[in-house]
């Protein structure tokens, strides 16, 4: 049995990745390592928490001794690293929290892997013959490390880094650390950079769940600037599938972009969301458009992100399972059917769940 640590497994993307691994790796022990900060929520995983190949460990990646205890307990064969501070607005007001978690936390994990795994520096760039790969450090990152695009073009795996916010700079630094450990120590690694995720269990500080919540409660829908910022959107369950497939099938030392093969300006996205929400809530068409509120732009706001995920499609055959409109509909349905979850998240009651379950 392999022991696989997934960091940040109680978060939005992490919980879907944990579920994907638990369901599809019955012969592996999946260790969910999460500090349960504000966006970590064990209620995301109630459906698999009693599975025999799943265990939760509360630990903070910024605390090396906490990590050491878990490494000594499980001696992991692989680490899938998702734990991160990830909200751009928060990084602007508190950049050191992002540097500590995203840079120092990643370094702590890499150092423990270097200590516990037998590495061969001759395997430069973290590339191992497939039949000899016994360990893997899979680092999950973001397309924001590439900076901002103009009106045309796409981010490739070879695009030069140009981070524009403390968040994206901290993720860029962590990407470089992972590759440096591969080059210097022979650490077997893979990096993936994804576009904006959406779907069930998304913490309501982000655009789509925030707008869903605010439409339900007839509150303003804040739109930065002129609303023409453009993003590629990826359904989180498709992202989890991609991570699992890359983990199992990709060569070490590689980088993969993961995208939804679509682009939406923020204002068009919100109008599509309003259209579907009003229909599902039984409101007259366009009823919630009056809630659109343009607000002052944030500093360092990247104009456009667009992912070219052709490498992942060509090499591994992965592609999204739903269109954006379909995925958005599934997301809205989930929030409407799980209003209690949303209330717990916004009230902080979900933190009591951990104490009830594990104390």
Residues with a catalytic annotation lie at 143-144, 167
- Give the DSSP per-residue string, 232-261: -EEEHHHHHHHHHHHHHHSPTT-EEEE--S
- Distance of alpha carbon 238 from alpha carbon 114, whole angstroms: 31
* Pairing label, strands 264-265, 189-194: unpaired
Q: Please give the structure tokens belonging to residue 326.
A: 């379909």
- Distance of alpha carbon 131 from alpha carbon 154, whole angstroms: 34
Interhelix angle for 350-358 vs 339-347, to 10°?
A: 90
Cβ neighbours for 352, distance < 8 A, ≥ 6 positions apart: none
Find the helix or strand (DSSP H, E) in which 223 lies: strand 221-224
Q: Please give the structure tokens belonging to residue 312.
A: 């992942």
Q: Please give the structure tokens belonging to residue 285.
A: 């068409």
Find the helix or strand (DSSP H, E) in which 54 lies: strand 54-58
Cβ neighbours for 114, distance < 8 A, ≥ 6 positions apart: 181, 185, 187
Question: CB–CB of 146/302 below 8 Å?
Answer: no
Angle at 38 between CA 34 and CA 41, to 5 degrees: 55
**Residue 100 backbone dihedrals phi, psi, to 5 degrees:** -65, -50
Write the DSSP symbol of residue 264. E
Tokens 């073009």: give the residue.
153
């Amino acid at each position: 049995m392999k022991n696989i640590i997934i960091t940040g497994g109680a978060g939005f993307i992490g919980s879907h990745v944990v579920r994907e691994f638990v369901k599809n790796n019955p012969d592996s022990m999946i260790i969910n390592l999460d500090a349960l900060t504000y966006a970590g929520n064990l209620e995301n995983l109630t459906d698999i928490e009693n599975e025999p190949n799943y265990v939760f460990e509360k630990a903070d990646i910024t605390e090396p001794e906490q990590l050491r205890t878990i490494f000594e307990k499980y001696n992991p064969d692989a680490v899938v690293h998702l734990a991160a501070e990830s909200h751009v607005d928060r990084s602007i007001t508190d950049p050191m929290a992002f540097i500590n978690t995203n840079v120092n936390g990643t370094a702590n994990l890499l150092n423990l892997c270097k200590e516990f795994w037998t590495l061969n520096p001759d395997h430069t760039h973290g590339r191992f013959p497939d039949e000899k790969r016994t360990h893997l450090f899979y680092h999950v990152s973001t397309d924001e490390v590439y900076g901002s695009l103009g009106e045309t073009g796409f981010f490739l795996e070879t695009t030069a880094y140009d981070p524009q916010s403390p968040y994206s700079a901290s993720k860029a630094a962590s990407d470089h650390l992972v590759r440096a450990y591969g080059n210097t120590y022979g650490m077997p690694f893979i990096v993936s950079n994804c576009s904006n995720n959406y779907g069930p269990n998304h913490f309501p500080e982000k655009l789509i769940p925030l707008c869903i919540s605010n439409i339900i409660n007839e509150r303003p829908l804040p739109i930065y600037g002129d609303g023409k910022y453009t993003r590629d959107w990826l359904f989180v369950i498709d992202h989890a599938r991609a991570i699992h497939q890359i983990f199992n099938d990709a060569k070490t030392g590689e980088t993969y972009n993961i995208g939804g093969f679509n682009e939406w300006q923020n204002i068009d996205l919100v109008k599509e969301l309003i259209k579907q929400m009003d229909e599902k809530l039984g409101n007259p068409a366009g009823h919630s458009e009056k809630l659109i509120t343009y607000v002052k732009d944030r500093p360092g706001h990247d104009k456009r992100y667009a992912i070219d995920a052709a490498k992942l499609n060509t090499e591994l055959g992965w592609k999204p399972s739903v269109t954006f409109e379909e995925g958005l509909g599934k997301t809205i349905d989930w929030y409407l059917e799980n209003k209690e979850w949303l209330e717990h998240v916004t009230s902080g009651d979900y933190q009591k769940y951990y104490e009830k379950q594990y104390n």
